[in-house]
Amino acid sequence: MKMTLELAEQGRGWTSPNPMVGAVIVKDGTVVGKGFHQAAGSPHAEINALNDAGAKAGGATLYVSLEPCNHTGRTQPCTQAILRGGIKRVVAGMKDPNPRVTGGGLEFLKSQGLDVSVGVCEDACHRLNEVFIKYVTTSLPFVILKCAATLDGRIATSTGDSKWITNSLSRQFAHEVRHSVDAVMVGIGTVLKDNPRLTTRLKGRKGSDPIRIVLDTHLSIPPDANLLQLTSDSDTLIVTGSSAPTEKRRILEKPGVRFLVLEDHDGQIDLTVLVKELGRMGITSLLIEGGSRINGSALRSGIVDKIYIFYAPKICGGDGVPVCVGPGVGLMEQSISVRDVSVRRFEDDVMIEGYLSDYSNLSRT
């Protein structure tokens, strides 16, 4: 099962809105077939493993990280291919959490005489597909907040300088995260200060560009901003308020640039409303890379599921831009709790990873 998880990881960044899935076929103690889901619309992991095994699949055991599908979508049911391949035993890491999928793949296979079991390496299987689990059970994107700070909690100096807080290894990991999500979001302040591109740049291989989202209530983005000049497979989505000038919108309209108009309150977009709209648009995961204002708003609104906070061995001292601004809690016991915390080092940088929600375990209830 650990091998299926390693295989499934190879699909990260390419399978959305589908889950990442790996499959291994074992016969007489020997692996005879391996496969993973490579991209949405392409054959599922089980099919690739069966094709790899060929005639050796007869009488073998199929290990798969997620329950095989028993419905027709963009591809045919994997359960039928499993029966045709002569598989006699199926071991699944976890059940399919999608409530809209008809048919239970494991129950069907069991009814056809196969030996079936589920729940091997279940925690790891849930963690692998935490994005998929949240989206199919709530229709909301899984939201990750990422920021880099000095040891005294500053994301920029008193002059606004932030290049670079972390080292190149930390920044490369940040691009891996961009590659894995459907969309990345910043505020207009970040655009005006840094003029980012928000594309994915991976060493030695092609990455997937996320949809670039800018919160810009009053349409202050300059027409020559880098985000509006890109050649990319994904679009730039400008989220603006209902009071934004329509003439400015006409100036900005061009191929690859879309607009989402939402009601604003005191110049602010309600982020809970925004994530619902993004879910309706089919966006399953969102990475927030905004400044301190968006960080604070996102945390206060309760939309954040997971954090990546990088700390570099630097101290600004005195004034500087904090991680969050805006109203905070009055008592320490009212602070937002971060669970399942893990720590990772990138040379001298330290990354804190943790969860504010528990959607990776939701399908068990």
Q: Catalytic: 122?
A: no
Peptide bond between residue 17 and the one before it cis (omega within 30 degrees of 0): yes
Q: Which of 46, 67, 130, 289 is catalytic?
A: 46
Q: Which residue has the tokens 């994904």?
A: 234
- Three-state SS letters, the chain: CHHHHHHHHCCCCCCCCCCCCEEEEEECCEEEEEEECCCCCCCCHHHHHHHHHHHHHCCCEEEECCCCCCCCCCCCCHHHHHHHCCCCEEEECCCCCCCCCCCCHHHHHHHCCCEEEECCCHHHHHHHCHHHHHHHHHCCCEEEEEEEEECCCEEEECCCCCCCCCCHHHHHHHHHHHHHCCEEEEEHHHHHHHCCCCCCCCCCCCCCCCEEEEECCCCCCCCCCHHHCCCCCCCEEEEEECCCCHHHHHHHCCCCEEEEEECEECCEECHHHHHHHHHHCCCCEEEECCCHHHHHHHHHHCCCCEEEEEEECCCCCCCEEECCCCCCCCCHHHCCCCEEEEEEEECCEEEEEEECCCHHHHHHC
Distances (CA, A) of 267 to 201, 219, 225, 241, 247: 33, 11, 22, 8, 19
Q: Which residues are catalytic?
A: 46
